[in-house]
Amino acid sequence: MVTGKRLADLGYRAFTGSMMLLTMYGGYMCVMRGYRFVQKQNQLKLAAENQDPEILKD
């Protein structure tokens, strides 16, 4: 028979484990968003550098 204390302990462990995974996933999402932002900025900078100066005179 599972006692109340044992059940509470298992619930606590399950909850804290899920919160750890959620925190790790949130951190991953933030890092990937920052990475994509930097990549997009680099692509825009490279595209601007490769423009024909005659086009940019407008």
What pLDDT score does 1 carry?
Answer: 73
Kindly report whether the global pTM for this prediction surpasses the value 0.95.
no
**Cα–Cα distance measured from residue 16 to residue 11, given in angstroms and rounded to the nearest whole number:** 9
What pLDDT score does 2 carry?
Answer: 78
What pLDDT score does 44 carry?
Answer: 87
Task: Determine which helix (DSSP H) or strand (DSSP E) holds 58, and give its type and residue range.
Answer: none
> Does residue 58 register a pLDDT over 80?
no
What pLDDT score does 53 carry?
Answer: 62
Structure token pair of residue 25: 């996933």
- Three-state DSSP class for residue 57: coil
